[in-house]
Copies of this chain bind each other. A is one copy, B any other.
Amino acid sequence: MQFEIERIVRTALEEDIGLGDITTEVTVVADTVARAQLVAKEDFTLAGIDVAATVFRTLDGDVSFEKLLEDGHQVKRGEVLAWIRGGAPVLLQGERTALNLLQRMSGIASLTAQYVDKVKGTNAVIVDTRKTVPGLRALDKYAVRMGGGRNHRIGLFDGVLIKENHSAAAGGITAAVTRAKQKLPHTLKIEVETRNLTEVQEALDAAADIIMLDNMNYDEMRQGVELIAGRALVEASGGVNLETVREIAETGVGIISVGALTHSVKAADISMLLD
């Protein structure tokens, strides 16, 4: 992920700084050294602390970024996340970009942690979707992991999900699964989206590895789980929120995918304070 983080940080810095931080250039002596801390202004689950470090180090390889907490940590309001020491212009120029990334990532981790907490004690794991912010998928998905969730496929290239339109185009679920098994790398499981129990049965007969129960109600989910009976992984999708996730988990599904983890993120409240 190293190259991807470098790409994201570089793009972000170029976007914000362009040909120069004109305010700092005319007010701050270039070689003034400064020290700053990243401080939590509320409770949250930390994600992105190394990305924040990369922001400052990309601007100046000599910046010292002392990380006090690791990603995944449950941060309490007032805790110091890291100490940063370097040229004052560098600190001022990296501040907004570092915070923009760190606050979003920690926001995702925190929301994920809430979902994970809700299903504690069930067999269900919380996974993300492809509903991420364009250009930041690697970070969004990493943040989900830091919140205790797991990742679904990264993109269209590394996982198979036969949706309704694919089945229809292939001439039915059976045909679609058969073709996928014949053509695709043997390293990938075949997942099929189903909308009712008839489709669940068809996917099961076609020996799908994963069966997604899409937008079903609790009863249907329970029946789906029963029908599948361990012969495939079961994923619930659609209508998942903090109110519904527990009851969904209790239907016995193994995987619950949640778009909201990444498509509607509330930034965690973090400040950078210069000494």
Assess the B22–A13 pair: CB atoms within 8 A: no
Chain B residues with CB below 8 A from A235, complex form: 186
Assess the A159–B185 pair: CB atoms within 8 A: yes
Given A20-B156, A160-B23, A267-B131, A187:B188 Cβ within 8 A: yes
Q: How distant is the Cα of A24 from the Cα of B165 in the complex, in angstroms? A: 9
Question: Closest Cβ of chain B: how far from A6's Cβ, in Å?
Answer: 10
Assess the B100–A133 pair: CB atoms within 8 A: yes
In the assembly, how many copies of this chain are there? Answer: 6
Question: Closest Cβ of chain B: how far from A209's Cβ, in Å?
Answer: 8
Q: Which residue on B lies nearest to A58, using beta carbons?
A: B3
A153 in the interface, Cβ–Cβ < 8 Å? Answer: yes
* Chain A interface size, under 10 / 10 to 19 / 20 to 34 / 35 or more: 35 or more
Question: Closest Cβ of chain B: how far from A262's Cβ, in Å?
Answer: 9
Q: Which residue on B lies nearest to A23, using beta carbons?
A: B160
Q: How distant is the Cα of A157 from the Cα of B28 in the complex, in angstroms? A: 15
Q: Specify which of B12, B101, B155, B167 is in contact with A27 (CB 8 Å cutoff).
A: B167
3 A-B pairs closest in CB distance? A12-B134, A18-B157, A158-B158
Q: A100-B263, A189-B189 are in contact. List 6 more A-B contacts (CB 8 A).
A: A17-B156, A22-B160, A27-B162, A27-B179, A29-B169, A187-B188
Chain A residues proximal to chain B, CB less than 8 Å: 1-4, 8-29, 32, 59, 88, 92-93, 96-97, 99-101, 103-104, 107, 125, 127, 130-138, 150-163, 165-167, 169-170, 176, 179-180, 183-189, 191, 210, 233, 235, 254-255, 263-267, 274
